Amino acid sequence: MTAIFAVAVSTFVGISAAAPASALSAGIPFAAEASPTWQANNLAYAVASTGGVVAVGGSFTRISPPAGGSGTAQNRTALALFNADTGNPTSCQFTVTASSGTASIRAITPATSGNVLYIGGNFTAINGTTRNRLAAINPVTCTLVSTFNPNVGGMVRSIFPAPNGTLYFGGEFGSVAGSTRYRVAAVNASTGALTPFNPVLRSDDVLDPNNPRITVLPVTAALGFALSPDGSNLVMGGEFDYVNETDSHALAVLDPTTGALKKSYPKYDRVANPSGFFNNNDAIKTVTSDASGFYIGSEGAGVGSWDGRAALDWSSLNLRWKDTCNGATQDILLYNNVLYGASHAHDCSSIGGWQGDERQHFTAQPTDAANFNKFYGWFPDTNEGTGEGIGPRGIDVATGSSGNRWFWAVGEFTKVNGANQQAITRFGTTDSNAPAAPSATAQALVAGQIQIRFRTVVDSDDSLLTYRVYRNGSSTPMWTGTASSVFWTRPQVTVVDSSVTAGTNYSYRVTATDATGNVSALSGAVSATASATGSAYASAVLANSPSLYWRYDEASGAWLQDKSGATTTGINGLYGGGVTRSQSGAIAGDSSTSATFDGSTGYVWEDQFTRDPSTYTTETWFRTSTTRGGVLISYGNQRQYIDTGNLMQSFTFDHQVFMSDDGRLNYGVFSGSARTLQTSASYNDNRWHHVVASLGAGGMQLYVDGALAGSNAQVTSNSRDFNGVWHVGFDGVGNSRRPFWAVAPTSPYFAGSIDETAVYPTQLSAAQVANHYAVGSGGSVAPDTVAPTTPGTPTATVTGSSVALGWTASTDAVGVTGYRVYRGTTTGFTPTAGNLIGTVTTNSYTDSGVAAGTWFYKVVAFDGANNSSSASGSGTATVAQAADSTAPSVPGSVTASAAGSTVNVGWAAATDNVGVTGYQVHRGTSAGFTTSAGSLVGTVTGTTFANTGLAAGTYYYKVIAVDAAGNASAASAAASATVAGGGGSTTTQTVAPIEDTMVASNNAAFVYGGTNQLSSRGTVPLESYLKFALPSLPAGATLTGATLTVRTSDDGTAASADSHLIRLLNGSWSEASTTWNNRPTGLGATVGTITGATSLNTAYNVQLDPAQLAGLLGTTASVAITSTGGDNIRIWSKEASATYRPSLTLTFTQ
């Protein structure tokens, strides 16, 4: 017996990795089967544990045994305590009462140490002792903590005991201990004494849903907290719009001592704040954290709201990842690096999960950004229950006195895994449920082999199952392997038995085993008789290694089997709508059948949601007489809804072959824009035809009946890059009013028969395509050896430096694929690879940027078999010399230094479209002098100049570049040097910034102080700030020069043709906290200008006005880099290496 293929295993759904060692789904210690647990008669909101005791709080008044359990129901209002190991009530119980109304518990949290639980809600006494809405109990000693009595003035809905000894809480109150505290407060965790922590929360008024003319006060409350590991930042989530009157919707970062706002998260507004984090109707219901960051869960309402979970980093306080499942998240829990969620999650298709309204009430996902969307295969479930119909509201992992761990959940549900169980449930670590038995088939598809196929089964707490295939009743498996599956993605496993004898019948059965060792029943026996011949067509397809192969020969059922060969991730299809099986097939001499699609509801899809391919071949056979067109094969982003079974028409689609109403075939690929190939002939003649479409290094290629029918060599890849699945018979395609492709059929549904669909991960060659058609049609395809006719002599139209060419099109026995265009310098030149200037698929070409002179053009046509015509006649074009009106760039990095009575000036070379011919050097007496004929002191062709015979004093120099046409650049920035008199001397001091940062108007709340680049731009403004500790003025000296040295970064957008001003900056700022929103606005005098910074990773010296800086010596001074232009500059910041960071050099003259 031979195992033909390697086994693929998965740690997460759909991700190949090493086999896990855990007993259940990798990373998950809990089974999906519920353990017997007492239940409650109404809603439960909160659950927490300590010392082997689990406390459940809610609005219930009675608890009772589970169905079939022993014991007598007990009256318990709002709070009940249970043994974590047994799920039974403990002997210790507390009486919770309210002075008016019914008491309820909305929050329970364990203290950071000891066996104390904090409870919050709407109550006024515990065991008859006054405790207003917040109390501390010890369920192990069964005592009320006497020293803790904060006296809260309204309902408490969240509690967070921080490691710093402070207890933070939120709710619907306005006072604590007689002092004003609105919706959030903090007390000493031991004494209950009120702390100074006092942020002010506010929400926008909302319209009364019963009377839109009346506004009502919305609910405002803090609902979750987390403290950073260093204790410096307190995260608060909840229902609010403003914190301390600053827009910060549903989430804020606060000072943990005072409540001052440290980072806000303004709400999203399509016009006013399109980069906002939350929709106006989102509320953060739950917050938790680990050493790397904090995690939030949201409940949204209405269109555009967010219901999922997200992670943010402690280091930046910015988003790490965000899942966009629908279904309001009520609670999240971190346990062993897994984020558990309580929600009613549905339609997770936006992150690669299931599609539709199928609701899952528990989720488990990785916490890292690369894998957060790959849910673990752990899906116990509840119903949505009573109240708001939310399902679970609270979750906790409890450790029993036995040391065993239990996953407890409470909420509104009335059923767990389909069985009656209200409000409370738990899941242990023991898995006793075996997987379902697989359903298998066997087929002798090709000679000497039998394929055994089965769809993977779904196990609610183990996504990676081990399968064993047994042959002829043996107790020893002929094959053992693993495969992954979840309820929305069930790959097919195909085992190939090649140890068979032709004419002998073999039977097979399959089992599935979970990681705990639970084994399914044996599948029903299936059998096949080995063949010495098999299907010649299938053999031809399999020889080219398809990744998907559907033959449509299943007589019944929804499963369309993938016959591509040995695999554990086979892409099986699923039938939907009006598809009739067992119709006559396309392949001559083959008994395989086809499927007929009704043109209105019939389709096939597959459930393995993956990124769309960039290199591939699709292939299928079809027969139709339709005049309404329709999709044959497509890759689209919509799948069948899990709950309803409806297939949605894709709104993102690609790699599509469809028929237009006139029967012509079209092949579409999106590569920057919609690119389409269309056949000249129609194929709705009710005969079988073979169509192949491919994309890859050979370009777009469309074959019909074994011959190339169209190609575009310039399109070698697609650009949509989306998650999707393959569809046959139906998908999105646009319509006649708004077609996506060049044309659109009347119907997206195809009416006709389809057979032998295959997808390959490679681009099939013309010979392979021809072979498939020849084998399938029972004939042969003669090779194409006839070249296209010679193209007409090109005509040329010259516009500036562009030459537009056109010629009479060639003809070909099969079809012209394209034209090669050549350019030479003589009329009789020979076309070669060296003078090829372009390849096109149409009979026109534009040659751009042609130098002045007379040029000659020839054209050669070629077809799909690469037969080439003879060269056309020679077309002629003369391009005139264009007048040069472009000025050189501004010289950069101008420097000046004095040596005796001489000043040596140097600069970086300018550039020009034709060539720089020289430089004018101008001298003035101030940095802002205007160049003129009177200021010109020299003209040179190089990049240095010596100004000799100067008297003592300070001189300023600017440089202008000129070209042969007399175009002159703008003047450079000024550089200065001081010629000493009477034996004077100069000294320099260089200082680095002590702080620097940038701010961005389009990311107004972000702090860039830790980044290694600074930037400036006027359009969508960017500004940068540098702070220097300037030295004091040396005794007897004068500040005579100042040079700011900056270096452009290696970022592709770092260079700039714009000017960027260096301006004095007033006002305090810090690189650790400055954003666009709180930036200093005291911009002062301009002291210098960065110009000509047109190269990457290049140093530029900017001369600053020493007169403006002299009065700042001995102080800490700031400058801003700003611009009014649209071409940003990027320079290295002080966080870069010492040789790259900015520096300021000051020159002092005695």
Is residue 609, in this structure, part of any structural domain at all?
Answer: yes
Which residues are within 8 A (CB) of 414 and not within 5 positions of it... i.e. 6 or more apart? 383, 385, 386, 420, 421, 422, 423
Whole-angstrom distance, CA of residue 620 vs CA of residue 604: 13
Q: Are residues 770 and 812 in the same domain?
A: no
Distance, CA of 281 to chain centre: 23
Whole-angstrom distance, CA of residue 595 vs CA of residue 579: 6
Kindly state the tokens that stand for 675.
């690119």
Q: Are residues 19 and 44 in the same domain?
A: no
Kindly state the tokens that stand for 418.
């389909």
- Best CA proximity match to 401, nearest among 787, 845, 862, 84: 84
Q: Are residues 418 and 469 in the same domain?
A: no
Q: Average per-residue pLDDT in the chain?
A: 90
Kindly state the tokens that stand for 940.
């040179």
Q: Is 1053 left (phi over 0), alpha (psi -120 to 50) or beta?
A: alpha
Q: How many CB atoms lie within 10 A of CB 579?
A: 21
- Give the CA dihedral 103, 105, 110, 112, nearest 10 degrees: -80
Q: What percent of the chain has pLDDT over 70?
A: 94
Query: Which amino acid, residue 797?
Result: T
Q: Tell me, what's the pLDDT at 505? A: 98
Q: Are residues 1054 and 1138 in the same domain?
A: yes
Q: Are residues 50 and 128 in the same domain?
A: yes
Q: Are residues 1048 and 1077 in the same domain?
A: yes
CATH of the domain at 654: 2.60.120.200
User: Parallel, antiparallel, or unpaired for β 143-144 and 251-254?
Assistant: unpaired
Distance, CA of 999 to chain centre: 25
- Best CA proximity match to 136, nearest among 214, 55, 243, 72: 55
Q: Are residues 1043 and 1075 in the same domain?
A: yes
- For the segment 645-668, the average pLDDT, to the nearest whole number, is 88
Kindly state the tokens that stand for 159.
């509690």
Q: Return the exposure string of 705-731: e unless at least 16 CB atoms fall within 10 Å of the residue's CB, then b.
A: bbbbbbbbbebbbbebeebbbbbbbbb
pLDDT tier at 965 (50, 70, 90 boundaries)? confident
Q: What percent of the chain has pLDDT over 90?
A: 71
Q: Tell me, what's the pLDDT at 205? A: 65
> Total structural domains in the chain?
6
Kindly state the tokens that stand for 1078.
């709180």
pLDDT tier at 281 (50, 70, 90 boundaries)? confident
Is residue 766, in this structure, part of any structural domain at all?
Answer: yes
pLDDT surpassing 70 at residue 645: no
- Best CA proximity match to 349, nearest among 563, 610, 150: 610
Q: What is the pLDDT of residues 1-50, one digit of tens each?
A: 333 322 222 223 322 222 333 346 667 899 999 999 999 999 999 999 99
Contact 168, 119 (CB under 8 A): no
Is residue 783, in this structure, part of any structural domain at all?
Answer: no
Contact 83, 398 (CB under 8 A): no
Is residue 630, in this structure, part of any structural domain at all?
Answer: yes
Domain end call among 937, 954, 983:
983
Q: Tell me, what's the pLDDT at 864? A: 64
CA distances from 264 to 39, 243, 508, 1004 (A): 41, 8, 63, 11
Q: Are residues 236 and 346 in the same domain?
A: yes
Q: What is the pLDDT of residues 708-767, one digit of tens each?
A: 999 999 999 988 888 889 999 999 887 555 568 888 899 999 999 999 999 999 999 999
Q: What is the pLDDT of residues 992-1032, one digit of tens each?
A: 999 999 999 988 888 898 888 999 999 889 999 999 999 99
Domain end call among 397, 427, 457:
427
Contact 298, 304 (CB under 8 A): no
Distance, CA of 458 to chain centre: 28
pTM of the model: 0.68
Q: Are residues 215 and 343 in the same domain?
A: yes
Whole-angstrom distance, CA of residue 729 vs CA of residue 552: 13
Range of the domain at 995: 989-1149
Contact 1088, 1062 (CB under 8 A): yes
Kindly state the tokens that stand for 436.
């379902």
Q: Are residues 692 and 748 in the same domain?
A: yes
CATH of the domain at 897: 2.60.40.10
Is residue 786, in this structure, part of any structural domain at all?
Answer: no
Q: Are residues 839 and 913 in the same domain?
A: no
3-class DSSP assignment, residue 519: strand
Q: How many CB atoms lie within 10 A of CB 958?
A: 26
Is residue 32, in this structure, part of any structural domain at all?
Answer: no
Q: What is the pLDDT of residues 182-225, one digit of tens each?
A: 999 999 999 999 999 999 999 886 555 555 554 444 679 999 99
Kindly state the tokens that stand for 1080.
């200093």
Whole-angstrom distance, CA of residue 184 vs CA of residue 322: 26
Contact 791, 843 (CB under 8 A): yes
The string of DSSP letters for 232-274 reads --EEEEEE-SEETTEE--SEEEE-TTT--EEEE-PBPBTTTBT
Q: Are residues 191 and 282 in the same domain?
A: yes
Q: What is the pLDDT of residues 510-565, one digit of tens each?
A: 999 998 899 999 999 999 999 999 999 999 999 999 999 999 999 888 899 999 99
Is residue 884, in this structure, part of any structural domain at all?
Answer: no
Is residue 315, in this structure, part of any structural domain at all?
Answer: yes
Domain end call among 427, 458, 482:
427
Q: What angle do CA 885, 886, 892 make, to 5 degrees?
A: 150
Kindly state the tokens that stand for 766.
């013309």
Q: How many CB atoms lie within 10 A of CB 121?
A: 27
Kindly state the tokens that stand for 930.
């205007």
pLDDT tier at 812 (50, 70, 90 boundaries)? confident
